[in-house]
Amino acid sequence: MISEEKKLQILRLFQYDESIKEIVRHTGIARNTVRKVIRNVKPKKVGRPRALSDRTVRQIKHHIIASVKRGKRVTSSTIKNDYNLAASRPTIRRTLSANGASYNSVEKILPLKHSHKVGRLSFALRHLELETDFETWIFTDEKRFSLDGPDSFGSYGVGEARLQRIKHQQSGGGVMVFGAICSNGKMMIKVVPNQLRMKF
């Protein structure tokens, strides 16, 4: 049975990262006794130190929330550059994933007002009530292919802080494809190149 003073000495040496062998040498107490004293103490961390500290992770999460509120895209590359981190991008991604952040494609939102939605609904209801003969109608649609990059991109988000944006429309050069379907089953297609708008 060792005294409380000896127990405190063992725990103090252990907290200063001394090994069990060094503690035995300093105190002269048997190895098994030293092990029993420190058994309930949280074991020392082994291996390399983490690339991102808890403080840095908290700062990055606040940065993600603030950037998303401003409508700014956040990726592992922008985080690495903004904070000048030595950690690799896969390490940043793994750390963010383990701390509640996730990378998702940004949701596209059409800028429809309430009046637009009411107008579309009333249009559909009116023609349903009138039993419109659609054989005299021609249905058309169009698809634009952009030459200035993809319409979709992704960003990190935390909790409810998710980046959203208006759908990409008419902001650069591209090709517009027009199509029309008639009641007799014939379909017409026309391809029109959009004019490139260049800035110098």
Bigger pLDDT: 40 vs 187: 187
Tell me, yes or no, whether 126 and 189 share the same domain: yes
108-132 average pLDDT score: 84
162-178 average pLDDT score: 70
Tell me, yes or no, whether 8 and 63 share the same domain: no
Tell me, yes or no, whether 102 and 178 share the same domain: no
Give the residue carrying structure tokens 């998710």.
162
pLDDT of the residue at 28: 86
* Residues 6+ away with beta carbon under 8 Å from 85: 51, 52, 56, 79, 92
Bigger pLDDT: 172 vs 143: 143
Burial per residue of 53-75, b for 16 or more beta-carbon CB atoms within 10 angstroms, e otherwise: eeebbeebbebbbebbeeeeebb
Candidate from 24-38, 56-70, 103-117, 163-177 with smallest mean pLDDT: 163-177
Q: Where in the sequence is the domain holding 148, given as residue range(s)?
A: 109-153+164-193
For residue 71, give both structure tokens.
Answer: 């409508």
Tell me, yes or no, whether 58 and 101 share the same domain: yes
Bigger pLDDT: 115 vs 174: 115
- Which runs of consecutive H residues, i.e. helices, occur in the chain? 4-15, 20-27, 31-38, 54-69, 76-83, 89-98, 114-130
Number of domains the chain contains:
3
Tell me, yes or no, whether 102 and 113 share the same domain: no
pTM, to two decimals: 0.44
Instruction: Indicate the length of the chain as a whole number.
Output: 200
For residue 156, give both structure tokens.
Answer: 């990190």
Tell me, yes or no, whether 113 and 101 share the same domain: no
Average pLDDT, the chain: 80
Is 159 a member of any domain? no
Is 185 a member of any domain? yes
